[in-house]
Structure 1
């Protein structure tokens, strides 16, 4: 793919409780917003997606949300975040790597729900 680069798109959201359906619903909402904001309609351009959760979310893998959306061939991985004091609770963070001709500055990062407070400088106009 001449002229294409791997670019990272950041995203995060929060959930009210550590319940599988709440985590998957919020993660689906986040992934759909990341795809929409960056005009990604073909999963083939997604190189990989990394998911992290805070230590208070352990009832399910947020990567299952990507499978619900049909991303069956995209490499996915989940991990726990470092338990930093005073961190945002019940958060799911996503790093989506995509093959694109866009510059890194053109990538639109998506922060939803309580996660808007994490990086207000990167929040795209929604």
Structure 2
């Protein structure tokens, strides 16, 4: 990211998915799939990430999503935060959301916000098939 001839701009990327169950394995699988989509669809280098906040519904407490993200290649220096999402009666269960701030080249116009699994219903306008299913 040391190209001094490039103009950079801070952008925010949203995304969400659901875990099959409240287990470390199921949460890790969902978070990994979500972050793979984030990186692939946006051609994102983790060095461009300013910070990431993960929220989970109150029915997920087996592992922190940030702990999964921290294990990813080149994510070790990304500031990460986990919070519990506000509970609203009837809201989507076992949901993991993120808000990630990134530095992108100013000419990087299209942002892909990955909404996967049952979370596709939260933002159908931003939902798509996973990269491997194109």
- TM-score, with normalisation over the residues of structure 2? 0.86
1:68 corresponds, among 71, 88, 93, to: 71
User: Unpaired segments of 5 or more residues in structure 1?
Assistant: none
Post-superposition shift, 1:123?
Answer: 2.1
Q: Tell me how far apart the structure 1 counterparts of residues 110 and 92 of structure 2 sit (CA, whole Å).
A: 27
SS in 1 for 2:67: helix
Post-superposition shift, 1:69?
Answer: 1.1
Post-superposition shift, 1:90?
Answer: 0.3
1:96 corresponds, among 76, 96, 100, to: 100
1:44 corresponds, among 34, 44, 47, to: 47
Name segments (4+ residues, structure 1) moved above 4 Å.
102-105
Counterpart of 1:107 in structure 2 is 111
Q: Tell me how far apart the structure 1 counterparts of residues 108 and 13 of structure 2 sit (CA, whole Å).
A: 8
Residues 102 and 87 of structure 1: is their aligned pair in 2 closer, same or farther, counting only changes over 3 Å? farther
Counterpart of 1:79 in structure 2 is 83
CA contact (8 A) 1:25 1:65 kept: no
Q: Give the aligned length.
A: 125
Q: Tell me how far apart the structure 2 counterparts of residues 80 and 105 of structure 1 sit (CA, whole Å).
A: 31
Post-superposition shift, 1:125?
Answer: 6.0
CA contact (8 A) 2:14 2:99 kept: yes
2:19 corresponds, among 15, 22, 47, to: 15
User: Unpaired segments of 5 or more residues in structure 2?
Assistant: none
CA-based RMSD? 1.7
- TM-score, with normalisation over the residues of structure 1? 0.91
The higher radius of gyration belongs to 2
